[in-house]
Structure formats: structure tokens, C-alpha cells
Amino acid sequence: IVVTGSDDHLWKMWALPDGNLLMTGEGHTDWLSGCCFRPSGTQLVTSSGDTTVRIWDLSRRGCILTLKGHARAVHGCSWHSRGDFVASASLDSTSKIWDVNSERCRYTLRGHKDSVNSSEFLPFSSTVLTSSADKTLSLWDSRTVSRL
């Protein structure tokens, strides 16, 4: 199974190798920039030019949570290996750590001078790696919001 996001505001789930369309997600109001499965495989997180991050329940076939807080387009998203947190990267020069259980932003990572293009948790760790258009990479401790 593979998931794709597109300029048409939709994400689509495809079966491999036959290419059959399994599911479509509708709800973002601008292009999709990222899609990532929750480690358990039961949910999907998406990021969009509409400044939001959305959590989708695959069994319910719909969006169950919209995370708002970025001021500009969101470039990407990723799950923590435990599945309780999502990281997002934005054109607003920040990355955010979202607590999915409490449905709120836990931390905002500030320090890049240009858009943050990606934000990834290192596996089985509280460390987040961000990359930016300011031509830097940063490692962060997501528990203390400090650069490492």
C-alpha cells in the first residue's frame, strides 16, 4: 500500500503492485505536501498548503482531527515511533510537535531563519531533525525544545 498527496487537495491510497485505488481522503483546502502512516497503520497524518495538519482514521474513512497553529503552508509531517506525537514543518520557519492524545501543540521549535522543509523524529528517540531553506539542519530534544 502507498499513499500519495496532490495539488488537487486529496490523498489517495493505492494497492501495490496492481495499482487499484483503495481510498481517497477529502478535506484539505489546498495542495497536500506530506502523508505518513501512524506506526500502528491505523491512521494517517497529512500536511497541506492550507496551514493545517490532519489526522485520518482509516477504518472510519475520514478526518478525525485538524491541527491548526502554523501561520503559513505546512511542508511535511511525520509520526513519532510510539504514535503519540506528530512533527510538522512549515514555511513559517517553525516546526511543531503535536500531542495527538491531547489534540494540541506541545512545542514550537523556533530557530531557523527560513522555511522548515522537513521535520523527522529519529527512531525510538525524543530527538527531532529539522532541515531548512536557510541551509541548516538542527537536532532538537522534543522534551525540552532545546537544540542539541
Q: Cell numbers of 28, please?
A: 484539505
**Tens of pLDDT along 17-63?**
999 999 999 999 999 999 999 999 899 999 999 999 999 999 998 99
Cα–Cα distance for residue pair 55/75, rounded to 1 Å = 15
Residue 75: exposed, middle, or buried by beta-carbon count in 10 A (0-12, 13-18, 19+)? buried
SS3 per residue for 32-54: EEEEEECCCCCEEEEEECCCEEE
Cα angle: 132, vertex 133, 139; to 5 degrees = 15
Q: Cell numbers of 144, please?
A: 525540552
Domain extents for the chain? 2-141
pLDDT of residue 13: 94
Is 80 exceeded by the pLDDT of residue 145?
Answer: no
Residue 88: closest CA among 111, 107, 64: 107
**Tens of pLDDT along 62-91?**
999 999 999 999 999 999 999 999 999 999
pLDDT of residue 148: 67
Residue 134: closest CA among 109, 115, 110: 115
Is 70 exceeded by the pLDDT of residue 105?
Answer: yes
Cα–Cα distance for residue pair 10/39, rounded to 1 Å = 22
Fold of 2-141: Methylamine Dehydrogenase; Chain H (2.130.10)
Cα–Cα distance for residue pair 121/111, rounded to 1 Å = 17
Backbone Cα Rg of the chain: 15
Q: For residue 88, how many other CB atoms are within 10 A of its CB?
A: 29
Is 80 exceeded by the pLDDT of residue 146?
Answer: no
Cα–Cα distance for residue pair 73/51, rounded to 1 Å = 4
